[in-house]
Structure 1
Amino acid sequence: MASASAHPDDPHFVHRTGWLRAAVLGANDGIVSVASLIIGVAAAGPAPGAVLIAGVAGLVAGAMSMAAGEFISVSSQRDSEQADIRREKLALKKMPEEELAELAAIYEGRGLSPDTALLVARELSARDALTAHIRDELGLSDALAARPLQAAFASGMTFSAAAALPVLVAWVVPASAIVPAVLAVAVAALALLGAIGARAGGAPLLPAVLRVLGWGVFAMGITFAIGSLLGVSV
């Protein structure tokens, strides 16, 4: 008997977009922001203890900010989705024939003949009209639905894990080696992050790595330059 799926043990990459986006964003921000902070402070010339304190403070504050920001923004997205779903429920109750015609028009626009489009719309509506409209009119699905807690957890945890790398390096290396050591570790971590993100999302490897590296190195370079020129913590 043929399998119901051509790849039952290999789900589509789109099912990962919710947590993957938040995780990559959190990890990238953790590496770039905390490494840049440490490099900028170290370039300004404070004692190693001050550099380490700045890094730890950046890690804690950044993780909380990322988690809260993800929760708030994704909650706003979820609220918008729920508002549209409520509107569809009301429209289906008040004018079901108009909603049926709207669904048929969507299928006709995708290439079905008018008769077939209407038949499909009728059969799907008879089974679950609201689900059909949510999926085909609003473009929403379980895989892509907003999940605030998932996004907040993924972003906050990956930020913390990634930011811990430059903090650990700043702690163990001599004061004179903080800037080059943190820069080297951050670059390596960004390249690894780009590769992992590309692999998890099914994207080409090289463009993803170069994109993450380019912006990360640019941010750290600017922060180092400001710290060196002004002699202040940035």
Structure 2
Amino acid sequence: MTARAAAEPTAADRRRWARYLVEERAEGLVYQKLAGRKSGEEKEILQSLADAERRHEQHWLDLLGGEPARLPKAGIRSRSLGWMAGRFGSIFVLVLAQTAEGRSPYDAEQYATPAMRADEKIHEEVVRGLAARGRRRLSGSFRAAVFGANDGLVSNLALVLGIGATGVGPGFVLFSGIAGLLAGALSMGAGEFVSVRSQRELLASTEANEDAALSAGDLDIDENELALVYRARGVDEAEALARSRRIITAAQEGVRRAATGPIRAHAGADHDIVGTDWSAAISSFLLFSSGAIIPVLPWIFGLQGIAAVIVALVLVGTALLGTGAMVGILSGGPPLGRALRQLAIGFGAAAITHALGLAFGVGAV
């Protein structure tokens, strides 16, 4: 900062400081709202970010000589983040906040202190870390939801456009769409049921045999094979031997416990992570159906011909753009690019089946 600039700020400087002030205030409010929805370590981290934004706010207040009589509104991005922070899950807000922190104007601002510039860069990494936590918690269920619905959207759009291009009547197109919905949803549900059931059966086969507990008291505490059970399951030799000795000693003293208790507890946790087969099957059925019903809606409501096709394309295109943008936001990538990619893939598949319908349709036979 030059002495002249510090002594003689221009009207443009003061307007810029006022914009920085309201932006810092808005960002601090976002972190404050998010902290109010959290607990433990995440709450403390978000509260610390809010405190840092207040320090930045105070810097601009000091330069302005106190609270100005009139302040500009915060930008649409900051206002949107503030609105979302009080109503939605933190993962979406954190991902957007990460992007905002990465676009700090302070690198080119002579009145911002070096500490403020460094703060903004560190804030981006802190928010990135918090967002990564949320992504890890959300990744499994979110992936299933997005790809289940997306499968329904793309496959049924391709089906109804391909069937419609053959020249058959609207009733046949509607029946084909409903049949495609049920066939795909049942297939997804059945596949998920078999997958989860098989995984649970696989985990069950790795659980320890209860009969081992009855023999623990008769094992030789120095030369025993119980330690091999733990070593076979990935425990190092010293720890395996120590565990087996504790279990044998307890059994010899009359304390009844499962010989492989710690391992069985771990297997039970794996069962919880995998989930239940019926819940997985039902959720897959519903997710696929929620996407597959959209391309059929025009025919359900009586449209036909080119009008039905256009409406189906608009509905499915909007849904694909939405799911693509959401994937982009959560992955930290550009939402528009992800949305357009999703749209291109979906419409590309539909274009192929439509072309096949035209080539092998009623008129071509």
TM-score (norm 2): 0.48
Counterpart in the other structure of 1:6: 41
Q: Which has the higher contact order (CA 8 A, sep 6+)?
A: 1
- Give the alignment's Cα RMSD to 1 decimal: 3.8
| Aligned mates of 1:58, 1:128 — CA distance in 2 | 48
1:225 aligns with 2:347: no
1:130 aligns with 2:252: no
Go from structure 1 to structure 2 and tell me whether the alpha carbon gap of 1:101 and 1:158 turns closer, same or farther (over 3 Å shift): closer
Counterpart in the other structure of 1:147: 276
Q: Per-residue deviation at 1:26?
A: 2.4
| Aligned mates of 2:318, 2:193 — CA distance in 1 | 29
Percent of pairs with identical residues: 33
Counterpart in the other structure of 1:34: 156
| Aligned mates of 1:225, 1:91 — CA distance in 2 | 65
1:119-198 alignment runs, 5 A limit:
122=243, 128-131=261-264, 134=267, 141=270, 144-172=273-301, 173-196=303-326
Counterpart in the other structure of 2:250: none
1:95-106 alignment runs, 5 A limit:
95-101=225-231, 103-105=234-236
| Aligned mates of 1:223, 1:91 — CA distance in 2 | 59
1:85 aligns with 2:207: yes
Bigger CA radius of gyration: 2
| Aligned mates of 2:341, 2:231 — CA distance in 1 | 45
Give the aligned residue type for 1:82.
Answer: A
Q: Per-residue deviation at 1:18?
A: 4.8
Go from structure 1 to structure 2 and tell me whether the alpha carbon gap of 1:162 and 1:6 turns closer, same or farther (over 3 Å shift): same
1:14-93 alignment runs, 5 A limit:
14-86=136-208
SS of aligned partner of 1:46: coil
Q: Per-residue deviation at 1:74?
A: 1.9
Whether contact under 8 Å (2:208, 2:263) holds in the other structure is no
Whether contact under 8 Å (2:159, 2:176) holds in the other structure is yes
Go from structure 1 to structure 2 and tell me whether the alpha carbon gap of 1:68 and 1:104 turns closer, same or farther (over 3 Å shift): closer
Counterpart in the other structure of 2:332: 204
Give the aligned residue type for 2:190.
Answer: A
SS of aligned partner of 1:85: coil
